[in-house]
């Protein structure tokens, strides 16, 4: 299978970057967990990454394709070895994981990812994760400070309690996985299964709330819980479900929220987030 794919790629890519022996152009066979459509999307993105010699994107798409771990992280190591200043991308994925938004590149082998993270911390004397995190937190603080003040006396407290429970379910195992660097794979797989069950429960609860009282706008529930539906929908991997609810919520979503949902729906990522 590998040799067949390599031969096919030979006709598409420049000879200067063609090398099947060292896996530079390795394209994995379709994994059973991926739909035909997802596989073709990820494979196309991978070929484009090979053409541009972008080792970060190569590793990212190989992770989406559920390739062998050693190949994925070899490309990621090469990415930072070419220019240590590229560690910003490594820091971003770690930062997102701390917030409960776990990319497949991080989840495939958290220990391997953290080893690469440690290389960044060791080699880049002009930056660090602490600097990156402080910058992101300051940007968030300024954004929050500039929002209009809401009248909390008008909040629907019963609705807030329901949304709070959904938030807790949404992050119950995601944050645990994201912050446990040396968790055994079997434990991680078990937690993902539990999280997927909660995601399904959350989807039903979200639909019920929307049918009963409509969208939880900031004036009713405050800023903290007005994005609860967005996070629940963001973690759904069924494209049809995502599109259905995005259309339902469209008039209530900010431009940034729409972009977040539509980008992921378009790419149809089948990996846990």
Instruction: Give me the residue spans of the domains in the chain.
Output: 2-123, 151-267
Residues 6+ apart with CB under 8 A from 94: 106, 113, 117, 129
Which ranges of 99-236 does DSSP label H, i.e. alpha helix?
A: 104-107, 110-123, 129-145, 157-171, 174-179, 185-213, 218-226, 228-234
81 pLDDT more than 60: yes
100 pLDDT more than 80: no
Task: Quickly state the pLDDT bin for 266 (edges 50, 70, 90).
Answer: low
Q: How far is CA 122 from CA 87, 104, 116, 226, in A?
A: 11, 24, 10, 40
Task: Quickly state the pLDDT bin for 31 (edges 50, 70, 90).
Answer: confident
Better-scored residue on pLDDT, 38 or 75:
75
For residue 219, what pLDDT is reported? 95
What's the Rg (C-alpha) of the chain? Answer: 21
Better-scored residue on pLDDT, 259 or 188:
188
Task: Provide the whole-model pTM.
Answer: 0.65
């Amino acid at each position: 299978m590998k040799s067949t794919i390599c031969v096919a790629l030979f006709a598409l890519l420049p000879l200067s970057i063609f090398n099947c022996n060292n896996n530079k152009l390795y394209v994995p066979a379709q994994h059973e967990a991926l739909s035909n459509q997802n596989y073709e999307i990820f494979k196309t993105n991978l070929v484009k990454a090979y053409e541009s010699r972008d080792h970060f994107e190569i590793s990212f798409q190989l992770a989406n394709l559920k390739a062998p771990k050693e190949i994925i992280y070899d490309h990621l190591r090469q990415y930072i070895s070419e220019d240590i200043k590229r560690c910003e991308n490594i820091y971003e994925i770690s930062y997102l994981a701390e917030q409960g938004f776990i990319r497949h590149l991080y989840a495939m082998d958290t220990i391997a990812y953290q080893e690469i993270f440690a290389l960044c911390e060791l080699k880049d004397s002009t930056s660090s994760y602490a600097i990156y995190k402080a910058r992101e937190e300051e940007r968030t603080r300024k954004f929050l400070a500039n929002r209009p003040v809401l009248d909390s006396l008008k909040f629907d407290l019963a609705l807030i309690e329901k949304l709070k429970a959904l938030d807790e379910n949404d992050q119950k195992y995601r944050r645990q996985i994201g912050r446990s660097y040396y968790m055994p794979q079997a434990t991680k797989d078990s937690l993902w299964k539990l999280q997927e069950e909660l995601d399904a429960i959350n989807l039903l609860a979200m639909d019920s709330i929307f049918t009963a009282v409509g969208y939880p706008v900031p004036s009713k529930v405050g800023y903290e819980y007005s994005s609860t539906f967005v996070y629940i929908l963001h973690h759904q991997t069924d494209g049809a479900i995502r599109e259905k609810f995005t259309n339902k919520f469209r008039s209530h979503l900010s431009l940034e929220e729409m972009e977040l949902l539509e980008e992921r729906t378009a790419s149809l990522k089948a990996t846990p987030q």
